[in-house]
Amino acid sequence: MTDLITEDLVILDLVATDKVDAARQLAQKLQAAGRVTDLDGFLADVAAREAQMATGMPGGIGLPHARSDYVTVPSLGLARVPAGVDFGAPDGPATLVFLIAAPTGGGSEHLTILAALARRLVRPAFRQTIIDAPDAAAVASYVQGEVGGQ
């Protein structure tokens, strides 16, 4: 199974105007890696999900996500946003943005990994390690290791 996240999917210092822009920049990374086939189609699915309920999470996390026909493999794009970008969380802007892209079909294995990721997001130590990581490769390997993927 393909890794959920690689260093190509990590943006260490993202500057974004708003959450749509942040999601788009991360989605472009996924597209570049061949994980998303149709950028606008995928972003429309993300926006549809975002419209249901804001995905700003406590602890400075933005979590745009979607299950989409345009996703080939389960993927995670991750951006550190030092200046912050508003994802609608009550406790302020997000300084970490996780873009979860899941295919609509397929087995539940990758969904289990995403579930593990979602649980990790709640833990402050997980967030802090990402923030303190020296480079993109370190971020990717840490996250991949944490959620138990190959």
Partner 1 sequence: MKFVAVTSCPTGIAHTYMAAENLEQAGKAAGHDVQVETQGSAGTVPLSDDVIAAADGVIYAADLEVKGKARFAGKPYIDVGVKKAVHDGEGVIAAAVAAVENAPKAGTPEAAAMAAAAPAPSSSGGGTRNVGVGTKVRQWLMTGVSYMIPFVAAGGILIALGFLFGGEGVVYKTYGSASQPGGMWEGVVYPDIAGGLPAKFLSGDFDAVLSAAGFAGILFVLGKISFFLLVPILSGYIAFAIADRPGLVPGIVGGLLAGLLGAGFLGGLVSGFAAGGIAYAMTRLRVPKGVRGIMPVVVIPLVSVTVVGLFMIFVVGKPIAAATTALTNWLNGLSGSTAILLGVILGLMMGFDLGGPINKVAYTFATAGLTTAIAVQSTGQAQPALQIMAAVMAAGMTPPLGMALATAVRRKLWTEAERENGLACWLLGASFITEGAIPFAAAHPLRVIPSTMAGAAVTGGLVMLFGNELRAPHGGIFVLPLVSSPFLYLLAIAIGTVITAALVILLMSLDAKNTEEIAESEDAIEGVAA
Please say which residue, 20 or 138, places its beta carbon nearer to partner 1: 20
Give the nearest distance from C-beta 10 to partner 1 in angstroms. Answer: 19
**Nearest-approach distance from CB 12 to partner 1, in angstroms:** 23
- Report CA-CA distances (Å) from 90 to 28, 39, 57, 58, 123: 28, 29, 8, 7, 18
- Single out the residue of 94, 59, 91, 58 nearest to residue 78, CA to CA: 94
Catalytic residue among 19, 24, 35, 65: 65
Q: In the annotation, is 110 catalytic?
A: no
- Based on CB atoms, which residue is closest to partner 1, 9 or 57? 57
Nearest CB to partner 1, comparing residues 102 and 140: 102
Give Cα separations from 28 to 36, 38, 99, 118 (angstroms).
8, 10, 11, 22
Answer whether 23's CB lies under 8 Å from 29's CB: no
Q: In the 8-state DSSP scheme, what is residue 52?
A: H
List of residues contacting partner 1 (CB under 8 A): 49, 52-53, 55, 57-58, 63, 65-67, 89-91, 100, 102, 108, 111-112, 114-123
Active site residues: 65
